[in-house]
Amino acid sequence: MKLPIETVQKELEARMPDVKLRKVRDSLLIENALDLRRVAAFLKESPEFRLDYLSSVTGADYLAYLESVYHFYSVEKKQGPVVLRVRVPKTEPKIPSLAPVYRSAELQEREAYDMFGIIFEGHPDLRRLFMWESFEGYPLRKDYEQEDTEILEAADIAWLDAHRIAVPNEMKEKARELQAAGKRAVAQRPEKPRPA
């Protein structure tokens, strides 16, 4: 059963007049990220909506800001989806975590943190999910630069030498140049990121 987003917006505006909402396509944008948990808790408990099931949590990079998107459904009333979104600047990407309200956010918020670097405040165990602990950067951000697997860096050459593995001289020279310039071996990007 579809749940019109206008109904949800009207109800929220009546019950929580201090929360600023804006309709974006078929979803509600919560202008102040700090209101998110309050709104989610209300939607979960309200007898009219009973959005007890948080299906999907994910991030997105829109160059100027990062966004977190939430898809809610109701198992009890078999209705939904209600889509909420929150936008935060890239310099301070902090969003209150929904994990205390919905357990299903636990792993999904960790994934969004891993891929976009969105910090979910109040999450019980915010670590990287797929990448290893010492990994630098956030792979799904549009400005992420991938490492070039064709080029070896000085540290790689040292390791290979220590293990007595022969390395072509060209690669050694390239590594020395990179080290002298203080650069990382980064794959060339095909083009500039597309505008949103």
Partner 1 sequence: MEMIAKKNNLEGAQMLEINFGPQHPSTHGVFRMNVFLEGEKICALKPVMGYLHRNHELIAENLTYAATMAYTDRLDYFNSMANNFGYALAAEKLAGIEVPERAAYIRVIMGELARIVNHVMLIGFLLNDLGAFFTPTLYAFREREKILNLFEEVSGSRMMGNYFRFGGVKRDLTDGNLAAIQRIVSRFPAFLDEFEALLTKNEILCMRCQNVGVLPAALAVNAGITGPVLRASGVNYDIRKVDGYGLYDRFRFQIPVGQKGDVYDRYYVRILEMRESLKILEQALEQIPQGEILNKKTLPVLKMPRNFKPAVGEAYGRIESPKGELGYYLVSDGTPQPWRYHVRAPSLINLTVLEDMCLGQKVADAIIILGSIDIVLGETDR
For binding to partner 1 (CB under 8 A), which residues are involved?
1, 25, 52-56, 58, 60-61, 69, 71, 75, 78, 81, 83, 102-108, 111, 115, 128-132, 139-140, 194-196
Task: Quote the least distance from Cβ 155 to partner 1, whole Å.
Answer: 23
Q: Would you state the structure tokens that stand for residue 142, as one six-digit string?
A: 């549009």
Strands 65-74 and 53-61: antiparallel
**Within 10 Å of residue 1's Cβ, how many Cβ atoms?**
7
Task: Quote the least distance from Cβ 194 to partner 1, whole Å.
Answer: 6
Handedness of CA 144, 104, 51, 123 (dihedral sign): negative
- Closest CB to partner 1 among 16 and 140? 140
- Closest CB to partner 1 among 36 and 175? 36
Q: Identify the CA nearest to 43 among candidates 35, 52, 34.
A: 52
Task: Quote the least distance from Cβ 73 to partner 1, whole Å.
Answer: 8
Q: Where are the alpha helices (DSSP H) in the chain?
A: 5-15, 36-45, 105-116, 154-162, 169-181
Instruction: Name residue 32's amino acid.
Output: N
Residue 80: half-sphere exposure toward Cβ, Cα within 13 Å: 22
- Closest CB to partner 1 among 137 and 158? 137
**8 A C-beta contact, residue 185 and residue 146:** no
- Closest CB to partner 1 among 30 and 157? 30
Task: Quote the least distance from Cβ 61 to partner 1, whole Å.
Answer: 8
DSSP code for 163: T
Task: Quote the least distance from Cβ 106 to partner 1, whole Å.
Answer: 5
Task: Quote the least distance from Cβ 75 to partner 1, whole Å.
Answer: 5
- Closest CB to partner 1 among 97 and 108? 108
- Closest CB to partner 1 among 108 and 174? 108
Burial class (CB in 10 A: 0-12, 13-18, 19+), 134: exposed
